[in-house]
Amino acid sequence: MPETLAYSAAVRSALELLLEHDDRVFLAGEDIGVYGGAFGVTDGLIDRYGPERIRDTPISEDAIAGMAVGAAITGLRPIVEMQFSDFVVNAMDPIVNQAAKLHFMYGGKVEVPMVVRAPGGGGTGAAAQHSQSLEAWFAHVPGLKVVMPATVQDACDLLLSAVADPNPVMLLEHKLLYKTEGPFVRPKAPTDVTEPLGSARTTRAGTDATIVGYSIMAVRALEAAEQLAERGIDAEVIDLRSVRPIDHNTVRASVRKTGRLLVTHEAPTAGGVGAEVVTGVVESDALDYLLAPVQRVCGLEVPMPYARDLERAVIPQVEDVVDAVEQLVKA
């Protein structure tokens, strides 16, 4: 029987399993010790595992990520937390120029098994420098993997898979998901989970249109599909889960069935992951199955505003997805 757990507790349970089973694993980040992390994810861990393995760092993102690269190539398994994904920008050199490239540059002689966890997304009133969805930046970099779990189970399982992966993985968690609850089957050991990174999941089967989302938009897409069902529209929902690599085959198979495609993410439209998903379809025979132009429902092309109504206007909502799918099916 699955238990019911909060998303943040599921992340913590993965961290606990890893700390229990693998001496090489350690955590580092700002205020992850007694404070428990800005979003409470590491709450209590320092009491059980001590300050050597739950390392509070100064406010030094560049050093946090660079240190993780150095520790990873010499045999440790660092899991570092960026307090907000926005601050990852201060650590772009170690992530983009170093972590992503060392394995390739050094002729395959080193591996960089590190994980960077970072809360992203808006809806908290934290405005332009604390609300971004920067996944497309990382999805553009060969050598990185970028994972964005939407469900409680995936919050745990994909983290376990990320740590097992010999490559640097960016794990972007949406802040509004931390408190969401869902069914959870607790793995007994990290090796119980064998989710490959880069596989999407069809979370609702349908025949009229395909909605592709990830992270919180996978959740909103599912809600939208339920509302659409009441209006007689049967939507298929795909949770991408990983935005690098992208599981194009699952999307293509769905489009061949439904003939209609809508992609949604909270990040702005231009240059976003949605464009890559759509291209994956139009570059394949699935193009021939399209009955209508594809649609994207994404964040507006502005930095995130503070005021509640403005913020809401920028972030795609369930009703935006519902409306767009209705239009798509009518077209």
Partner 1 sequence: MGRNARRDPRSLPARVLTNMWRIRRFEEALEELFSRGMLHGTMHLSIGQEATAEGACGALTDGDFITSTHRGHGHAIAHGGDPMLMMAELLMKDTGYCRGRGGSMHIADVAAGNLGANGIVAGSMTIAAGAALTQSVTDSGRVVLCFFGDGAANEGSFHEAVNLSAIWKLPVVWLCENNLYGMSMAQELSTAGGSVANRAGGYGIEGLAVDGNDVVAVHDAVKGAADKARSGNGPTIVECITYRYRGHSKSDRNLYRTQDEIDRWRDQHDPLARFEQRALDSKLLTEGDISACRAQAAADITEAVRQALLQPDATADDLLESAYA
Ligand X SMILES: Cc1ncc(C[n+]2csc(CCOP(=O)(O)OP(=O)(O)O)c2C)c(N)n1
Coil/strand/helix, residue 298? strand
State the binding string over 241-280 for partner 1 (x if CB under 8 A, else -).
----------------------------------------
Residue among 59 and 282 whose Cβ is closer to partner 1:
59
Show contacts with ligand X in window 179-218 (CB under 6 A): none
Residue nearest to ligand X (CB): 87
| Shortest CB 195 distance to ligand X, Å | 31
Task: Count Cβ atoms within 10 A of the Cβ of residue 276 and give its class: 0-12 exposed, 13-18 middle, 19 or more buried.
Answer: middle
**Contact with ligand X (CB under 6 A) among 40, 53, 57, 90:** 90
Q: Return d(Cα 170, Cα 97) in angstroms, integer.
A: 14
Strands 3-6 and 181-184: antiparallel
DSSP structure string for 188-250: SSGGG--PPTT--EEEE--SSEEEEE-THHHHHHHHHHHHHHHTT--EEEEE--EEES--HHH
20 is catalytic: no
The smaller minimum CB distance to partner 1, of residues 30 and 266, is found at 30
Q: Which stretch of DSSP H or E encloses residue 299?
A: strand 295-299
130 catalytic per annotation: yes
* Cβ neighbour number for residue 164 with a 10 Å cutoff: 20
The DSSP call for residue 95 is I
In the shown chain, the binding pattern of residues 60 to 79 toward partner 1, with x for contact by CB under 8 A and - for none, equals xxxx----------------
Q: Helix (H, G, I), strand (E, B), or coil: what is residue 274?
A: helix
Pattern 40-69, ligand X, x by CB under 6 A = -------------------x-x--------
Q: Which of 87, 111, 127, 253 binds ligand X (CB under 6 A)?
A: 87
Contact predicate 63/28, CB 8 Å: no
Footprint on residues 6-45 left by partner 1 (CB under 8 A): 30-31, 33-36, 38
Return the residue of 83, 98, 131, 264 that touches ligand X, per CB under 6 A. 83
Residue closer to ligand X, measured from CB, 59 or 270: 59
Q: Binding to partner 1 (CB under 8 A): which residues in 82-141?
A: 86-87, 90, 124-130
Query: Per the structure block, which two tokens stand in for 269?
Result: 């439209």
Query: Which one of 55-63, 144-152, 226-234, 285-293 is the stretch in contact with partner 1 (CB under 8 A)?
Result: 55-63
Check whether the bond before 245 is cis (ω within 30° of 0): yes
Residues of this chain that bind partner 1 (CB under 8 A):
30-31, 33-36, 38, 56, 58-63, 86-87, 90, 124-130, 300-303, 305-311, 313-314
